[in-house]
Every structure is written in structure tokens, then in C-alpha cells.
Structure 1
Amino acid sequence: MGKPDFRVQNLHVSVEGKEILKGLNLHIRGGEIHAIMGPNGTGKSTLASSLMGHPHYEVTAGEVVLDGEDVLAMSTDERARALFLAMQYPAEVPGVSNANFIRQALNARRGEGNELPVLQFHRKLQEKMKALNIDPSFAERYLNEGFSGGEKKRNEILQMSMLEPRIAILDEIDSGLDIDALKIVANGVNQLRSENIGFLIITHYQRLLNYIVPDHVHVMMQGRIVRSGDAKLAEELEAKGYDWLKKELGIEDETVEVEA
């Protein structure tokens, strides 16, 4: 299989009749890291939820294509096998251990008849946990139950590392992390960086991009991408904020994000 090719074209998304995304375009190839930044309420998390098929969001126009396949025509579980979403607020699932959850997800992605043998799975899991500085006991703990914010985020990166998706969407993975946890999470992403995976990182702050250097930075306002550039654009936003760009583009303040 060749490098991933992920295209979002003219995407429009509404919630209860209110348009949130207003013609968003994005093209991610394998080996690339794209970062989307923007003020609160511009539709960034809506983009992530819409791509994964959250029922709260209605796609009214546009298309999303991964390797020639129509993502919008996929069921939620099919999308979960095609894309990976590291969530801003990972859910706790009492009664389900991390190891069992990841093993079931991995085997579902590999497909029937191609399941990873148990011993091979556990060796791989332990290797990945060691690389992410995750205590081995976490494997038997219930999914995210009693985890700190940093532990939950590292657990998301562990899942991504084990599942090896073709496109990974990281929705504010840096939210609530101290500097040590941030470095560990960033290191996990950097270890996975290759031509076999493309990344979409959604973040408010440039600090994460000090450790994960993006190939492309996009600024999102009023439900669309209004400016794109390289890593220097993120540094400029950190130094100047967003008001200078709003003024330059003639954009008035408007909140379009609607929480699920």
C-alpha cells in the first residue's frame, strides 16, 4: 500500500441548522504533519468530530476521501478503522482493561483471520509502553479510570502507536499537560513519524509545535482555513496573537463552534 492520501474538499457542517464549517479544504499526505490553529470557537474540534462521524454534526456539502475511499459514506466503526482520533477529553471505561481494549481495537483494524497472537501483542504493548514512559501496570488498569490528565493523553498516544493508523487526528492533545508530559507525548508522535502516516494536529498553542515540528500550519477562523504556511507561521501567531490576522483579513469576531 502506498503513502496515505487524505483530502477534505469544500466541507460544510451544521448543527441544528447553524453552519459551523463553511467550505474547509485540506490535503494531507503520508509523512506530513499538519497543524490547525485558531481562536476558540472557530470550528477546530467540530472538524475532528465531523471527520469521525459524530451524529451531532450534519455534513451538508463537500467530500472527505482517504486513499480514494469516501470517508463520509463509512459507518462510525469503519471510520475508526480508517482514521485515529486522540481526543481532548478521553473517556473512562470501568471494567475494561487497557490491554483488552487495545487488543480488541488492533484486531478489529487488522481484520478477521489476521489477529495478532497474544504473546506477540503483549511484547509489542510492553515495548510501546516503555518508549512512552508508561508504567507496565497500566496495561491491567481499567481504561483511563483514575488516570491523571497527562496519563490519559499518553494512553491515547499508546493506542495510536499500537494501531498504526494511516491518518491520525490529535485534538488538543496538549491540553492540560505539564512540560514533562508534553515532551513524552511529542516524543511518541515523533517516533511514529514516517511516510506511512499523516498527522492532523489541532492546537491552540505554539508550545506543542516546539517539540513536534509541523510541515504545514493552517489558521482557522469562522469555519474555514484563512491562512497556511510553515512552522514559522505558528511562531508568528505566538508572538502576535490572532487579532493582527483578523484585521489584515477584515474578519470580525464571531464564534461558530457548537459543543456536542
Structure 2
Amino acid sequence: MLEIKSLRAAIDGKTILDGLTLSIGDGEVHAIMGPNGSGKSTLSYVLAGRAGYAVTGGSVTFNGADLLAMAPHQRAAAGVFLGFQYPVEIPGVSNLLFLRTALNAQRALRGEADASGAEFMKAAKVAAADMGLDFEMMKRSVNQGFSGGEKKRNEMIQMALLQPRLAVLDETDSGLDIDALRVVADGINRLRSPDRSTLLITHYQRLLDHVKPDHVHVLMAGRIVLSGGPELALRLEAEGYARIAAEAGVTNITDAPMESAA
């Protein structure tokens, strides 16, 4: 589904991704872990097409198409979804209107008919119930007055309604308490299917206790230095990054350029 080869990307002239290679097959869940500044969020933004991130080398193929040649809205219509580490509030924009507009915009680009009001409301109510979010909150402005956990649940509702082919989730577990983590993990697991893949970016093993990945990768200094199964996350939890950095020849993991969290 996704083939990344020798990807290089920079911010303000500073190289963040430095030859990253990764392959994600249909239906697979991959987790990327790494220290701050290693390039995790930069990878998610490059895949989504965020402005300000200059691709200076390599290629990204999504379902056989050149992802880097697509505008952000085209990537979304093709099935790429980005879940933010810090979902923003959009005052004055109805959450339900935002979601229906996004859904129908993607359908239009794919040549599909719009979802009717009744069809959309039924799906939105089911998604909100699945995520344990009071449907009355869906009538507010986007994320306005939501707690951190509610914002993440709202993003899982967005994912459930948009039904992406590739979900890139940038530290979705950040700021979640134990109960909210389980609910969000259940939402991710509910959407697992043979034709949908997921890239989880996380600092912590705790999410992977609930969402069992097929593969775990360690990202340092802008490239993947080690890959393995779920046991690799357990090793990181027990040992930290220093030993793996030494084995990979990364001399100082704290000196990597800091990626933008904005």
C-alpha cells in the first residue's frame, strides 16, 4: 500500500528525514517509535502534504501512485488520513458540518454521490456512540471546549466516518488517561481491515498493549535504524534508546534537529 524509499525532507533548510525507507502492506499496522527530534512528526506531515516541509530526495508511492505529486486534498480523497498529536479548535465551525463537508468533498473527488443528511447523521451517531462521546458535543464548534481525550475521540470519529485507506496517527495516545486510551485503541482496532493500513507514531508501549502492531520501527536521526515485531517495543520500554543508538552508530540522539510540533 505504502512504499517510502530513501526519503529526505527538510524544514527551513535543516534536514530532518535523512534516507528513510519503509514499506507498509495492505491491512498492516506499523508502529514508529523514537526520541524527540528524530523525525516522527515530520514523517506524518510529509505524508499528508503539509506546507513548509521540503522533500529533497526519495519517493513515496501510495497504491501505485506518486503521493508526493498530489495536493493535500487529493491525498485525503485517495485515502490518507492524518490524526494530529494536538488537534486544534476551530471556533464558529460546526463539528457536524465540518465532518459532512469533508466527507462529501472527498466523495466528489472520487466521483461518488454526496452522503444525504439522514445517512450522515445516522453514521455520525453510531461513530460517536462507539467512541463514548456524547452526541450533543458533536453539535459544538470543532473541538471547542473538548478535553484532550475528547479531542482524540473526535479524531477517531472523523476516521470512522471518512474510512481512510491509510491512517497516520501522530501520537494519538498523547495526553490520554487509561480509560480514554482504551476507547481510542478500541476505535483503531474497530477499523482494522484487510484493505486499510495504519501507521502509529508513539512514544509509549502502553498504546501497543491494546493495538497489536504487525511491525515496530525505531526512528533516529531521520532514518529507521531497527525494525522488528511487538517485542521491540518492549525492549525500548525496558532499555530506552541509548543502546540501540550505539548499535546503529547514532552518536548523540539528543543532537538531532528538533521537528516542529506546531
Q: What does residue 72 of structure 2 align with?
A: 76
Please give the residue correspondences for 1:129-144 in structure 2 after superposition, counting only pairs within 5 Å: 129-144=128-143
Q: Which amino acid aligns with 1:144?
A: N
Separation of aligned partners in 2, 1:34 and 1:222: 19
1:33 aligns with 2:41: no
Q: 2:50 aligns with which of 54, 68, 71?
A: 54
Cα deviation for residue 249 of structure 1 reads 2.3
User: Can you list the C-alpha shifts for 1:149-182, whole angstroms capped at 9, x where unaligned?
Assistant: 0000000111001100000000000001100000
Amino acid across the alignment from 1:190: N
**Structure 2 partner of 1:243:** 242
CA contact (8 A) 2:41 2:259 kept: no
Spell out, residue by residue over 1:51-90, the C-alpha distance to the aligned partner (whole angstroms, 9 max, x if none).
Answer: 1112211001111111111111111211222310000011
- Within a 5 Å distance, the mapping from 1:130-209 to structure 2 comes to 130-209=129-208
1:88 lines up with 2:89 in the alignment: no
Q: Look up the match of 1:212.
A: 211
- Aligned amino acid, residue 258 of structure 2: E
The count of residues paired between Structure 1 and Structure 2 equals: 256
Q: CA-to-partner distance for each residue in 1:8-38, whole Å, 9 max, x for gaps?
A: 1110001122111011111112210000000
Q: 5+ unaligned residues in a row in structure 2: which ranges? A: none
Per the TM alignment, residue 113 of structure 1 is displaced from its structure 2 partner at its CA by 5.0
- If the length of structure 1 is used for normalisation, what is the TM-score? 0.96
Q: Is the 8 A contact 2:131 2:153 kept in 1?
A: yes
Match in the other structure for 1:126: 125
1:100 and 2:97 are equivalent in the alignment: yes
AA of the residue aligned to 1:130: A
Matched-pair contact (CA < 8 Å) for 1:46–1:257: no
Is 1:6 the counterpart of 2:2? The answer is: yes
Q: What TM-score do you get using the length of structure 2 for normalisation?
A: 0.95
Overall identity of the aligned pairs, in %: 50
Query: Which of 13, 20, 45 is 1:17 aligned to?
Result: 13
Letter in 1 for 2:44: A
SS at match of 2:257: coil
CA displacement at 1:257 relative to structure 2: 2.9
Shift of the 212–103 alpha-carbon distance from structure 1 to 2, 3 Å rule, reads same
Give SS of 2:17's match: strand
Gaps of 5+ in 1: none
